[in-house]
Chains A and B, each alone.
Chain A
């Protein structure tokens, strides 16, 4: 279980997180929605340990990771997979080397085992036979799928998806969402998905957390969010220009 308790973070005097509270159950997929710049990616970076909060706690299996550093944090990260917004594939490595990278660096698996797992992982994301290509030769959707294969390769307990479908056409967007659902069913990880894709994300997540102005405005099932009377939530999911959310 992940518990985020009263998390605060400022950059150069500008408070981005103003007391975030959120509990994420094991094996659930939660989507964090909210307008650009509301602090979603900053929150994710705190969960990975890339940023330290000014105050507050992040408990992963009851361990406060905000107090961890170095090897303790690396240990936590071994159970964590991240799909970054642009994929963050290593340009100088082939698709095979990219996916195999965490296995080669963090485990003592034989070459054959690594090879088999990479091929199986590529099959899982529907990209069999592209292992010798380089990231520059792939389309945006393929990169995201390769990045997902890399995030899944170590079978982590938690996977963070930072805008996994942003910038993709509707068909690929649905393909990526289906892939998240299929792999979740197969591997049973806890998923945290940052997304702007309304209403498509309602089909992917078990729960939705709406973030606004540095706090979690509302959390609920997709149906509860759809029927919410909270004016912030209503404006965001309908995409209306009228309402309490500042457009600029």
Chain B
């Protein structure tokens, strides 16, 4: 076999492996979404996962939302003043948070906080044969472990993004009034004029899709964990990195679509 043929064979099998893995990843999502509509529905598991996402992420969302708003206030005030538009600080912060930073940063925070915990939990269930035990009972593990997480994330992510936005807007307000000397009325008065329902919906769509991405990748990586504790650690790292990258890539595509 010639050297060229060897290289081509290796490239071919690498490409085939990647395509197969991607197919596997998408089938996993399709199967999980399909089970959303097929009874019996697992409301208890859904409620538990809503609390799981909210409970794990709320503090970090409040904290990062507050500081994001404060940083935005300072940086945007500096930029807007150069153009003589510092009165538009309120709407500028609100639009940046609602359309972009709220959904993206809150999704990244949830990935680090709850997404990683989710991968580790499902991974441990895999290596301790708890997932096999479900299958051996004639029950579908996807229905019990994965579908409730995807639905919970679809519900929770927009709520957390909204909390992030509100915290950011109010912390920006505190900085604008106390540090930058703006009047109270100016900050909010322009917001109503410049922030449309369309902007809010864009943020909503983004956070819903980020919810799907984070829960899907976190669950997939946990579900396919192998090789003991080291495997759980690897799956968790891979889930966080892959979810974070996909959030930013998908954010770009959605941003372009909404232009």
A residues with CB within 8 A of B: 45, 48-50, 73-75, 77-78, 80, 82, 84-86, 88-91, 101-102, 105-106
Contact sample, A vs B, 26 pairs, CB 8 Å cutoff: A48-B136, A49-B135, A50-B132, A50-B135, A73-B138, A77-B136, A77-B138, A78-B138, A82-B136, A84-B129, A84-B133, A85-B129, A88-B128, A88-B132, A88-B133, A89-B130, A90-B130, A90-B133, A91-B124, A91-B128, A102-B137, A105-B137, A105-B139, A106-B137, A106-B138, A106-B139
Kindly report which residue of chain B lies nearest to residue A73, judged by CB atoms: B138
Contact A77 B137 (CB under 8 A): yes
Contact A48 B135 (CB under 8 A): yes
Q: A88-B129, A91-B130, A102-B137 are in contact. List 9 more A-B contacts (CB 8 A).
A: A50-B132, A77-B136, A82-B133, A84-B129, A85-B129, A86-B128, A88-B132, A105-B139, A106-B137
Q: Complex formed: what's the CA distance from A89 to B137 in Å?
A: 12
Q: Which of B128, B129, B130, B138 contacts A74 (CB 8 A)?
A: B138
Residues in chain B near residue A75, CB distance under 8 A: 138
A-facing residues in B115-153 (Cβ within 8 Å): 124-125, 128-130, 132-133, 135-139
Residues in chain B near residue A106, CB distance under 8 A: 137-139
Kindly report which residue of chain B lies nearest to residue A101, judged by CB atoms: B137
Centre residue among A73, A88, A89, A101 by max chain B CB count within 10 A: A88
Closest CB pairs A-B (n = 7): A74-B138, A77-B138, A88-B133, A88-B129, A82-B136, A84-B129, A102-B137
Residues in chain A near residue B124, CB distance under 8 A: 91
Residues in chain A near residue B129, CB distance under 8 A: 84-86, 88
Q: Complex formed: what's the CA distance from A91 to B127 in Å?
A: 13
Kindly report which residue of chain A lies nearest to residue B127, judged by CB atoms: A86
Residues in chain A near residue B137, CB distance under 8 A: 77, 101-102, 105-106
Q: Complex formed: what's the CA distance from A80 to B129 in Å?
A: 16
Kindly report which residue of chain A lies nearest to residue B137, judged by CB atoms: A102
Q: Complex formed: what's the CA distance from A101 to B129 in Å?
A: 16
Residues in chain B near residue A84, CB distance under 8 A: 129, 132-133, 136
Determine how close the nearest CB of chain B comes to the CB of A107; give it in whole angstroms.
12
Q: Complex formed: what's the CA distance from A85 to B133 in Å?
A: 11
Determine how close the nearest CB of chain B comes to the CB of A112; give it in whole angstroms.
20
Q: Complex formed: what's the CA distance from A73 to B137 in Å?
A: 10
Kindly report which residue of chain A lies nearest to residue B135, judged by CB atoms: A50
Contact B130 A88 (CB under 8 A): yes
Q: Complex formed: what's the CA distance from A77 to B140 in Å?
A: 12
Residues in chain A near residue B128, CB distance under 8 A: 86, 88, 91
Residues in chain B near residue A90, CB distance under 8 A: 125, 130, 133
Determine how close the nearest CB of chain B comes to the CB of A31; give it in whole angstroms.
20
Contact A50 B138 (CB under 8 A): no
Q: Complex formed: what's the CA distance from A105 to B41 in Å?
A: 11
Centre residue among B124, B133, B135 by max chain A CB count within 10 A: B133
Residues in chain A near residue B139, CB distance under 8 A: 74, 105-106
Q: Complex formed: what's the CA distance from A84 to B136 in Å?
A: 10
Determine how close the nearest CB of chain A comes to the CB of B107; give it in whole angstroms.
25
Determine how close the nearest CB of chain A comes to the CB of B232; give it in whole angstroms.
13
Q: Complex formed: what's the CA distance from A80 to B137 in Å?
A: 8
Determine how close the nearest CB of chain A comes to the CB of B38; give it in whole angstroms.
12
Q: Complex formed: what's the CA distance from A83 to B128 in Å?
A: 12
Residues in chain B near residue A78, CB distance under 8 A: 138
A-facing residues in B210-228 (Cβ within 8 Å): none
Residues in chain A near residue B130, CB distance under 8 A: 88-91
Centre residue among A73, A78, A80, A84 by max chain B CB count within 10 A: A84
Residues in chain A near residue B125, CB distance under 8 A: 90-91
